[in-house]
Copies of this chain bind each other. A is one copy, B any other.
Amino acid sequence: MADEENAYSFTTAATRHITLANLPQGGMPMWRGGRLPEVTLAYECWGELSAAADNAVLIFTGLSPSAHAASSPQDQTPGWWEYMIGPGKAIDTDRFFVVCANSLGGCYGSTGPVSINPETGQSYGADFPDVTVEDIASSGYYLMRELGVEKIHAAVGSSMGGMSSIAYAMQYPGKIDFLVSISAATRALPLTIALRSLQREIIRSDPAWNGGHYTDDTRPVSGMTLARKLGLVSYRAADEWNSKFDRSRLPPENLTGKRFEREFEIENYLEYNAQKFVASFDPNSYLYLSRAMDWFDIAEHGGTVSEGMSKLDVNKALVVGVTTDILFPSRQQREIADVMRSTGTEVDYVEIDSVNGHDAFLIDDQHFSPVVKKFLDESVA
C-alpha cells in the first residue's frame, strides 16, 4: 500500500491494512460531496469473532490516535487506551471481538491526505475531499462488513469518536445494539469551533503549509507546534495544572536568558508534548479531521437534533461526561442523554468528577473503567 510508505504510517506487526472491496460502484461517496475511489483502513483487532458474529465492539478514536488502542501478542507496546481494552478489562477481549481503525482522513495508515490518489499517482494533500464524522462512521461500517460483521454489538467512542459512534447509530439503525458516547456533542458550538478554527488558521498561516502542498521535509512544523499547544490547553483542566505545575520555574540551567522565552514549567510541558505530537502527525490530516468536528450537527439528519437522534435504534446507550471538560462540557453530555431519552432510547448517563478535563478518558482508568465495564457487562447479561 502507498500508505505504508509515508512518514506517518505507524504500522506495527499488529496493524492490518484492508482495502475496502464492498464500496458502492465508483468508490465511497462522501457526505459533503466527492468520492474516494479507493479506501484503505489501518486497523487492529483483539479477541475472537464469535461463530454468530455477534460480539464485535468497534472503537472510534478522537482526532489523533492510531489504530493501536491496546497491546497484543503481535505488538506488546501499550496502546492509547491500554487500560480499557484487554482480557478481563472494561472492554473485555475474552468476550468481545474488538476492532479499532485509524480514522478515515488520518495519517496512521488509513486513506487520508498523505495517501496516493490512485487516479493521479500523487498524494492527495489538500485535494482530499472534505471528511466528515459521517464518513468516518461509514468507513467503520464498510470495515465491519469486510470483517464478516453485519451488526455490531457496540460502538464505543470518545471525543470525535463519540460523535462517530452516534453517527454510526444514526446512519445504520438496526446494525448496532449498544452505543457508548464519551465527551462528545450533538453539534459543535461556537467556543469549540473558535478554538479549532484558530488551530487550523495557525497551521495555514505557516508559509511552509503552502496551501497544503508540502513534503515530509518541508512540513509546517512551526504552525503545527503552535496549533497543538492550543489543542493541549483546551484538553486539560485548570485545577489539574495548578496542582501539577503551580508557578514552578525551569531550572536556571535550562533558561536561555532571552526575553519572552520559556521560563515556567507549564511552558515547557506544552513545548515537550507539542514537539512529540508534531513529529508524527500530518498537518493536512489535522486540518481535515478538525474541520470534521466543526461540521458535525445531528440536526443535519432530519432538521433538528431530536429528529436526527430519533433515527437511533439501539438497545441502550451509555453517555459519559466529565465535570472539568471545557471543550465538550458536561452540559453537552447531559444534552446528548436527554435528547436520546426524549426520542425513545434507554440511556445510562454518568458524569465523572475527574481532574483531567477533556483528556480524562485517556488517563483516568479509576473513574472510567468501572463505568464502561458495568455497561458492557450488562449488555451481554
Contact = CB atoms under 8 A, between A and B. Distances in A.
Given A187-B247, A190-B264, A197 B238 contact: no
18 contacts: A126-B259, A130-B259, A189-B238, A189-B241, A190-B246, A190-B264, A193-B247, A194-B266, A197-B262, A197-B266, A198-B229, A198-B230, A201-B226, A202-B202, A230-B230, A238-B326, A247-B297, A326-B326
Interface residues of A, number: 45
A195 interface: yes
A6 interface: no
A188 interface: yes
Contacts of A263: 294
A297 to B, nearest CB: 6
Given A198-B233, A198-B270, A260-B204, A191 B238 contact: yes
Number of copies: 2
Interface string A258-272: 011011101100100
Interface string A205-228: 101000010000000001000100
A189 B242 contact: yes
A79 interface: no
Contact of A229 (B201, B226, B241, B294): B201
B189 A205 contact: no
Contacts of A193: 247, 264, 266-267
Given A230-B198, A267-B193, A260 B291 contact: yes
A241 B190 contact: yes
Given A188-B247, A226-B205, A238-B191, A197 B294 contact: no
